[in-house]
Amino acid sequence: MATQHSRAAARLMISPAVLLLLGWMIIPLSMTLYFSFLRYNLLIPGMEEWTGWTNYEFFLTDPAFFAALTNTLLLVGGVLLITIIGGVLLALLLDQPFWGQGIVRILVIAPFFVMPTVSALVWKNMFMNPVNGLFAYFAKFLGLQPFDFLSHAPLFSIILIVAWQWLPFATLILLTALQSLDSEQLEAAEMDGANFLNRFVFIMVPHLARSITVVILIQTIFLLSVFAEILVTTNGGPGYASTNLTYLIYAQSLLQFDVGGGSAGGVVAIILANIVAIFLMRMIGKNLEA
Amino acid sequence: MAFHTRALLSACAMAALCASASAETITIATVNNGDMIRMQGLTKDFTDKNPDIEVKWLTMEENVLRQRVTTDVATKGGQFDVMTIGTYEVPIWGKQGWLVSLNDLPESYDVDDLLPAIRGGLTVDGELYAAPFYGESSMVMYRTDLMEKAGLEMPEAPTWDFIVKAAKAMTDKENEIYGICLRGKAGWGENMAFLTAMSNSFGARWFDMDWNPQFNTPEWKETLTTYLDVMNEAGPPGASSNGFNENLALFQTGKCGMWIDATVAASFVTNPKDSQVADKVGFALAPDNGLGKRSNWLWAWTLAIPAGTQKEAAAKKFIDWATSKEYLELVAAEEGWANVPPGTRTSLYENPEYQKVPFAKMTLDSINSADPNNPTVEPVPYVGVQFVAIPEFQGMATVTGQVFSAALAGSMDADAALAAAQAATEREMKKAGYIK
Amino acid sequence: MARAVSNRRKALVTICAWAVGIAIFFPILWTVLTSFKTEAEAIASPPSFLFFDWTLENYSTVQERSDYFRHFSNSVIISFGSTLLGLLIAIPAAWSMAFVPGKRTKDVLMWMLSTKMLPPVGVLIPIYLLFRDTGLLDTRVGLVMVLTLINLPIIVWMLFTYFREIPGEILEAARMDGAELWSEIIYVLTPMAVPGIASTLLLNIILSWNEAFWTLNLTAVDAAPLTAFIASYSSPEGLFYAKLSAASTMAIAPILIIGWFSQKQLVRGLTFGAVK
């Protein structure tokens, strides 16, 4: 179908995007790579010298590194779990006929439009604060000891905040998928005596599988670099309990201004992200090919 | 066509005219604290006096601002003409040649009027690199009614023993009254500022004369165990995420018996508009242990000019205005003496009007009792009371702050926290080449 | 009979759905309510829900202190600018990937997405230095460029999945009729792709509007958008919940309203090829 002519044209049309992204990737990346082998602290200019693998050694042996790695995975996994389960349930609910569908849908998608910094500030100060927060007030109202979310369950609290922001996204995509489901098929199954659970497992889940993979892919891309929510709420603490890789690199390069160490961390993070990417692509590839 | 050309020409002429008449614009980066917001609000007074200068403001939360200005000054980005920086940055940046010397401020500025403790921290090799906008130390703020109820009397210069005893006596968890509120939130400017200053009064220090970290000493252990003990028994829930603001909100809503923090808080807690306990607050010096050092810090927010700005003259004019005696009078006239930026000038504390402000004397005494050049019981190779003025400090104190915050949250004990702090600090000092 | 059951069921679903909807929306509602309280009332315990002295004081304080409209217009220019520029670059790329797929098309697409995983903090210093040397610091042009590049992979991918579902026969027919490549894109493809393009546009405006790392670090005064506006109200010394709430409400209101009005368009194309 494609002629020689159109192949050339296609290459021409794709090249701006490819070249730009290539430049965007290569220029800072090569600078980062170069910095990662330097002893380079922004606050001590004139001391830059080649140090070989020292920065990598310090970054990889940092006790925080392993914690950050685990936290990153927990954060991504936790948010995915909540948003997908919650998203499916919500989509099933919103798919039913009820009064005020439009308004409820507006209410449900609203968190997606809120800036991450704003939502983190609001959750931290007005809800999770153990003295002035609303949760503490309700706990006291019920005669319970207020739970101190951000110091005793920091990672969980952050997962909760991030999940709140991404739940609408998952819900929307899954809802669209559900609505595209052939209703005759469902009715036929109902006639045949299949109960709701059966219909859900054998008809809806397979139909939703592709949408779920899409949600996983897109959210993972964004969740790997969650940063503002941590900065605003816990500063990665207490200890390293809520430090993820992005935050660790931030601490290195913008709190300690250790550009060398931060760059080494950046390179490590890029490698890890690409491993995740390859893994994801395999999965998506399989699911989207059909 | 002719018309077009003429229109174009006149437009050019207009533009040129406007450009030459138009004001020089300086960009000022500052922190979003009350005193700076007030300064921003009074900009008109400055531009009225200097019609050829226009002022643009960037006002941001402290941490974001610090990161912003540090990146800019270190890369010579040239985004700002006046920067608001703290006493930690000034000596380091001054030594690097990143700041413009302010030794040539006009006679009328009266540089000798600046408080010596504050001025000393801003001078490197005889050059004044930043002008103090407001200065602060830390002190004890306490609820006079609760102290009375507990049957105790706060001395003017309490010891740690008394503070611990009083904190436990004042605590009434049933009614949400916690004897003591201290910083627990991780950060070199949050819990580490407090703990470092506290450790000074216990005879501890960050480094010995050979730059060996000292977290494995008994003095640090005593500091940390005292802190954890009193906070666990008499502190509010969630203390490990409380910084200045969180504690302020707690104190203002009547939930703290005592609060040891920045002297600037005094004007907030005594302001009846925001504080429910405004008329029941007393002040005392930060506690000590009889070792000759108290646990109060010394900090000043200052205005400085980054080297390389094209608008040095205009920037100097602004600094001269914002940190002058006249500015203090201007604020006093507009908002009352209690709202004047404190802690920078001797003349302010000699002013009988200002002496009527309830916390004026305690603030001055606290500032005068801190000595950044001689902060600890035993000698140290560094400058700074609640910080160590070396570039690596931010990073190290961020990590140790995390560890101590985890200890307060209960996820590790004092020994483990100190061992982790020692290991992390040794690591950083090795990496930076101070120790082998 | 069946009708009664379905009505009862509908009522039940209605109650559940509304309860969940309100619960999810509550934090935003609470922020808006708090913005009308005084600072002291904002931290009062027990919290007052509706019965407090409503005040506009916070809004006037915020407006007095920082010029909302300057930040707002910067946000608009940056988010719309970067999205439009992104579409301009992405449409041809996605077109060629969807209709003239080569052996490496999939790989190119995957590679594009993987650039999105680059942690921004890791490359801030290099970018800052580049921007300093090219005079792009604190300019809207600079920010538009960065945000375009950041969102380009998502734009290309969304468009690609949407274009792929357009039957190739239609294009072939057009080609038979002797349509040029460009007219093929403009007259045949684009009209069919409008829903996809519209939702890509909306999603990216939302993402750019809320982007808070680059917009904070590469601006000072002139190009500062609403994310910087928020940063000047978070955590000062003193009480700040009410003023922060007012600033937050002002910052999220425009995008919330755009989002609500266009949610149908947003949803239509937000399938990423997952719905056949």
Residue C196 predicted with pLDDT over 90: no
What was the pLDDT predicted at B349?
93
Query: Are residues B350 and B232 both part of a single domain?
Result: no
Q: Which residues of B touch A235 (CB under 8 A)?
A: 185-187, 402
What was the pLDDT predicted at B316?
94
Q: Which secondary-structure segment (H or E) carries B168?
A: helix B160-170
Query: Binning pLDDT at 50, 70 and 90, where does residue A4 land?
Result: low
**What is residue B306's DSSP assignment?**
B
Residue B214 predicted with pLDDT over 80: yes
Q: How far apart are CA A117 and CA A119, in angstroms?
A: 6
B contact residues 219-258, partner C, Cβ 8 Å cutoff:
243-245, 248-249, 252-253
pLDDT single digits (tens) C143-158 = 999 999 988 988 888 8
**Does the residue A164 lie in any domain?**
yes
Mean pLDDT calculated for residue range B366-373: 88
Contact of A258 with chain B, judged by CB distance below 8 Å, is answered with yes
Report phi then psi at B68, rounded to 5: -65, -50
Residue B21 predicted with pLDDT over 50: no
* B302 vs C176 pLDDT, higher one: B302
**Does the residue B66 lie in any domain?**
yes
Provide the residue range defining the domain that includes B216. Answer: 137-298+382-432
Number of structural domains chain B divides into: 2
Mean pLDDT calculated for residue range B265-274: 86
Query: Binning pLDDT at 50, 70 and 90, where does residue C45 land?
Result: low
What was the pLDDT predicted at A27?
85
Query: Are residues B189 and B128 both part of a single domain?
Result: no
Query: Are residues B233 and B291 both part of a single domain?
Result: yes
Query: Are residues B48 and B124 both part of a single domain?
Result: yes
Mean pLDDT for all residues in chain A: 83
What was the pLDDT predicted at C181?
67
DSSP A104-145: HHHHHHGGGGS-HHHHHHHIIIIII-TTTSHHHHHHHHTTPP
Query: Are residues B83 and B223 both part of a single domain?
Result: no
Cα separations in angstroms, B18 against B4, B7, B9, B24, B136: 21, 16, 14, 12, 44
DSSP B115-159: -HHHHHHTEETTEE--EEEEEEEEEEEEEHHHHHHTT----SS-B
* B258 vs A203 pLDDT, higher one: B258
Q: Which of the residue ranges B254-263, C127-136, C265-274 would you say has the lowest mean pLDDT?
A: C265-274
A197: closest CA of chain C, how far (Å) = 18
Q: Which residues of B touch C131 (CB under 8 A)?
A: 77
What was the pLDDT predicted at B20?
42
* Cα B32 off chain centre by: 13
Mean pLDDT for all residues in chain B: 88
Query: Are residues B200 and B249 both part of a single domain?
Result: yes
Query: Binning pLDDT at 50, 70 and 90, where does residue C272 land?
Result: low
Mean pLDDT for all residues in chain C: 83
Q: What is the CATH number of the domain that holds A109?
A: 1.10.3720.10
Residue C238 predicted with pLDDT over 70: no
**Does the residue B262 lie in any domain?**
yes
Q: How large is the greatest C-alpha to C-alpha distance in chain A, in angstroms?
A: 79
pLDDT single digits (tens) A32-43 = 888 888 888 777
Nearest to B186 among A45, A238, A252 (CB): A238
Report phi then psi at B183, rounded to 5: -70, 135
C contact residues 13-52, partner B, Cβ 8 Å cutoff:
39-40, 43-45
Q: Which of the residue ranges A260-274, B320-334, C226-240 would you say has the lowest mean pLDDT?
A: C226-240
Q: How far apart are CA A270 and CA A283, in angstroms?
A: 20
Residue A184 predicted with pLDDT over 70: yes
Q: Domain end: B309, B337, B355, which one?
A: B355
* C178 vs C38 pLDDT, higher one: C38
Tokens of residue C103, six digits: 């052996």
Residue B131 predicted with pLDDT over 90: yes
**Does the residue A242 lie in any domain?**
yes
Q: Which residue of A has its CA nearest to C173?
A: A1
Query: Binning pLDDT at 50, 70 and 90, where does residue B3 land?
Result: very low
* A191 vs C11 pLDDT, higher one: C11
* A51 vs B123 pLDDT, higher one: B123
Q: Is B295 helix (H, G, I), strand (E, B) or coil?
A: coil
**Does the residue A24 lie in any domain?**
no
What was the pLDDT predicted at B329?
93
**Does the residue B330 lie in any domain?**
yes
Residue B231 predicted with pLDDT over 60: yes
Contact of B310 with chain C, judged by CB distance below 8 Å, is answered with no
Residue A1 predicted with pLDDT over 50: no
B244, B274, B431, B434: best to mutate for the A interface, most A CBs within 10 A: B431
Contact of C2 with chain A, judged by CB distance below 8 Å, is answered with no
Q: Which residue of A has its CA nearest to C180?
A: A6
Q: What is the CATH number of the domain that holds B65?
A: 3.40.190.10
What was the pLDDT predicted at B16?
44
pLDDT single digits (tens) A66-81 = 889 999 999 999 999 9
What was the pLDDT predicted at A286?
63
**Does the residue B11 lie in any domain?**
no
What's the ipTM?
Answer: 0.84
Query: Are residues B203 and B144 both part of a single domain?
Result: yes
B394: closest CA of chain A, how far (Å) = 6
**Does the residue A14 lie in any domain?**
no
Query: Are residues B287 and B168 both part of a single domain?
Result: yes
What was the pLDDT predicted at B350?
92
CATH 1.10.3720.10 in chain C is located at 68-269
Residue C111 predicted with pLDDT over 90: no
Q: How far apart are CA A169 and CA C202, in angstroms?
A: 13
> What is the number of CB-based contacts under 8 A between chain B and chain C?
92
B12: closest CA of chain A, how far (Å) = 37
- Give strand pairing partners of B127: B124
C contact residues 102-161, partner A, Cβ 8 Å cutoff:
102, 106, 108, 110, 112-127, 129-130, 149, 152-154, 156
Q: How far apart are CA B83 and CA B102, in angstroms?
A: 14
What was the pLDDT predicted at B220?
95
How many residues appear in chain B?
Answer: 436
Across the interface, do C43 and B249 touch by the CB < 8 Å criterion? yes
Q: Which secondary-structure segment (H or E) carries C55?
A: none
Provide the residue range defining the domain that includes A252. Answer: 55-289
Name the H helices within A146-258.
149-152, 154-179, 183-191, 196-199, 205-223, 228-233, 245-250
Query: Binning pLDDT at 50, 70 and 90, where does residue C229 land?
Result: confident
Q: Which residue of C has its CA nearest to B76?
A: C132
Contacts made by residues B55-58, CB under 8 angstroms, sequence distance 24+: B55/B25, B55/B26, B55/B28, B55/B318, B56/B25, B56/B26, B56/B27, B56/B28, B56/C221, B56/C222, B57/B27, B57/B28, B57/B30, B57/C221, B58/B27, B58/B28, B58/B29, B58/B30, B58/C220, B58/C221, B58/C224, B58/C228
How many residues appear in chain C?
Answer: 276
What was the pLDDT predicted at B80?
93
Q: How far apart are CA A157 and CA A112, in angstroms?
A: 18
**Does the residue A5 lie in any domain?**
no
Query: Are residues B386 and B328 both part of a single domain?
Result: no
Across the interface, do C149 and A108 touch by the CB < 8 Å criterion? no
Contact of A148 with chain B, judged by CB distance below 8 Å, is answered with yes
Question: Percentage of chain B with pLDDT > 70?
Answer: 95
Residue B420 predicted with pLDDT over 60: yes
Phi-psi region of B323 (alpha: psi -120 to 50; beta: other; left: phi over 0): alpha
C contact residues 49-88, partner A, Cβ 8 Å cutoff:
none
Number of structural domains chain A divides into: 1
Sign for the pseudo-dihedral over CA of B163, B404, C240, A75: negative
Tokens of residue B238, six digits: 């969630």
Residue A142 predicted with pLDDT over 80: yes
Cα separations in angstroms, B316 against B111, B304, C207: 14, 9, 41
Residue B13 predicted with pLDDT over 50: no
Mean pLDDT calculated for residue range B253-275: 89
**Does the residue B217 lie in any domain?**
yes
Q: How far apart are CA B336 and CA B358, in angstroms?
A: 13
What was the pLDDT predicted at C237?
66
> Is the separation of the CB atoms in B375 and B385 below 8 Å?
yes
What was the pLDDT predicted at C86?
93
What was the pLDDT predicted at B1?
40
Nearest to B75 among C132, C238, C239 (CB): C132
Q: Is B56 helix (H, G, I), strand (E, B) or coil?
A: strand
**Does the residue A20 lie in any domain?**
no
> May I ask the CATH class of domain C68-269?
mainly alpha
What was the pLDDT predicted at C231?
80
pLDDT single digits (tens) A41-72 = 777 777 777 888 888 888 888 888 888 999 99
Residue A211 predicted with pLDDT over 60: yes
In the structure, how many helices (H) and strands (E) does chain B have? Answer: 19, 10
pLDDT single digits (tens) B49-79 = 999 999 999 888 888 888 889 888 988 888 8
Across the interface, do C216 and B268 touch by the CB < 8 Å criterion? no
What was the pLDDT predicted at C1?
40
Mean pLDDT calculated for residue range B165-179: 92
What was the pLDDT predicted at C274?
57
Query: Binning pLDDT at 50, 70 and 90, where does residue C96 land?
Result: confident
